[in-house]
């Protein structure tokens, strides 16, 4: 099996592409997250929206193709 290279730069994503998470913030109202609700965040990037959803008490599982993005998310939001 061919290994796919992870070319994402998580620091650059946070500093120059944070607009991606900002666009997603409007979905929070539609989701109306509640305490104890389980939400799967596919393509969670560096975890900004997942963290906001968790702030409502929801249990979030973030998944991203990039290990670098997941590492950055874990660093920013250890819980």
C-alpha atoms less than 13 angstroms from C-alpha of 76 in its C-beta half-sphere: 18
**31 Cβ contact partners less than 8 Å away, ≥ 6 residues apart:** 39, 53
CA distance 30 to 60: 16
Instruction: Kindly state the DSSP code that residue 63 receives in the 8-state scheme.
Output: E
Note the pLDDT of residue 27.
87
CB 72 within 8 A of CB 10: yes
Share of the chain above pLDDT 90, in %: 63
Note the pLDDT of residue 16.
86
All structural domains of the chain with their residue ranges: 10-76
- Residue 64 pLDDT grade (very low, low, confident, very high; cuts 50, 70, 90): very high
Share of the chain above pLDDT 70, in %: 99
pLDDT, average across residues 2-27: 84
For 10-76, CATH number out of 3.40.50.2300, 3.40.50.2000, 2.60.40.10, 3.40.50.150 equals 3.40.50.150
Does pTM surpass 0.95?
no
């Amino acid at each position: 099996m061919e290994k796919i290279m992870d070319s994402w730069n998580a620091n650059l994503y946070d500093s120059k592409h944070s607009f991606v998470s900002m666009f997603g913030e409007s979905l929070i109202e539609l989701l109306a997250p509640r305490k104890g609700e389980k939400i799967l965040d596919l393509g969670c990037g560096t975890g900004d929206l997942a963290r906001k959803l968790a702030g409502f008490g929801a249990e979030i599982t973030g998944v991203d193709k990039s290990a670098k993005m997941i590492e950055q998310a874990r660093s920013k939001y250890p819980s």
